[in-house]
Structure 1
Amino acid sequence: MVYMPYNIYKGDYMTEFKLIAYEKENGEVPVEQFLDSVNPKMRAKIFGLLGILQEKGNMLREPYSKHLDDGIFELRCKFGSDITRVLYFFYYEGKIILTNGFVKKTQKTPKEEIQIAKDRRKDFIERVMKDENI
């Protein structure tokens, strides 16, 4: 389990939401790989939106976040003419699991990307249930 580098404080308490990047069994972290692959200015914008997501959690709405299908959400980022998405789902105790990211090239979010997020959610939950150190 890889924790994203955010600690946002509100008043006298820390925000309840915690961003976690999904980690494959082989140790790869797809969201980190995606973030490393994008333009530094886009990456900075995505990090800013991740901070907003961590603060607002399930209260974040369009234009920043949108529910796609079956509990999978997208974090929506645009910088210049480039559009990126980071897909995520909510888990117990205020955890937000970031599953994958991609550069958007079509009007609709590709079904393949949504399916990847669903598959990773399934894997994450199965591994948590087996009490793996996730």
Structure 2
Amino acid sequence: MRYISYNGSKKGVCMFQIEFYETKDGQRPIEEFLDSLDDKMTAKLVGLMEILEEYGNNLRMPYSKHLEDGIFELRCKQGSGIVRILYFFYYEGKIIITNGFVKKTQKTPRQEIETAKQRRDDWISREGR
């Protein structure tokens, strides 16, 4: 399944643009994660990503929450399922989505935050700046 960034802004211009983290060999782990979810959850997440593109760093609870060290989570609940998508902001209005997980505990698992930080550092080292 392909996930295309949609500019849902009523003004026709988004200040932010979402990109998926990509490994050196071209894999996009977040696409695999999104493909593993049911259609309703995926549709809701895509809608939330559109909202994130429109509002960027002005998006707050209940949709978005800063976790630590520049890592944020996009919060999604569909029925009894809860999913989190982790991301960071980069120059020129870029939002880089690093990873996602199905939430099963009260706190965000430390390993998910560390994965987001490692992928952020890798992305920045390859993109420069």
Question: Normalising to structure 2: TM-score of the pair?
Answer: 0.94
Q: Does 1:5 align with 2:5?
A: yes
The separation in 2 between residues aligned to 1:8 and 1:93, in whole angstroms, is 19
Tell me the equivalent position of 1:43.
Answer: 42
Q: CA deviation at 1:10?
A: 3.5
Q: CA deviation at 1:5?
A: 2.2
Q: Secondary structure at the match of 2:89?
A: strand
Tell me the equivalent position of 1:121.
Answer: 120
Q: CA deviation at 1:127?
A: 0.2
Tell me the equivalent position of 2:20.
Answer: 21
Deviations 1:47-89 (A, max 9, x none): 0100100000000000000000100000000001100000000
Pairs within 5 Å for 1:76-91: 76-91=75-90
Gaps of 5+ in 1: none
Q: CA deviation at 1:30?
A: 1.0
Q: CA deviation at 1:3?
A: 7.9
The separation in 2 between residues aligned to 1:92 and 1:8, in whole angstroms, is 21
1:9 maps to a residue whose letter is S
Gaps of 5+ in 2: none
Q: Secondary structure at the match of 1:127?
A: helix
Q: CA deviation at 1:101?
A: 0.6
Question: Normalising to structure 1: TM-score of the pair?
Answer: 0.91
CA RMSD of aligned residues (A): 1.6
Q: Does the 8 Å CA contact 1:4/1:21 hold for their aligned counterparts?
A: no
Q: Does the 8 Å CA contact 2:72/2:87 hold for their aligned counterparts?
A: yes
Q: CA deviation at 1:26?
A: 1.4
Tell me the equivalent position of 1:102.
Answer: 101
How many residues end up aligned between the 2 structures?
A: 128
Among the aligned pairs, what percent are the same residue? 61
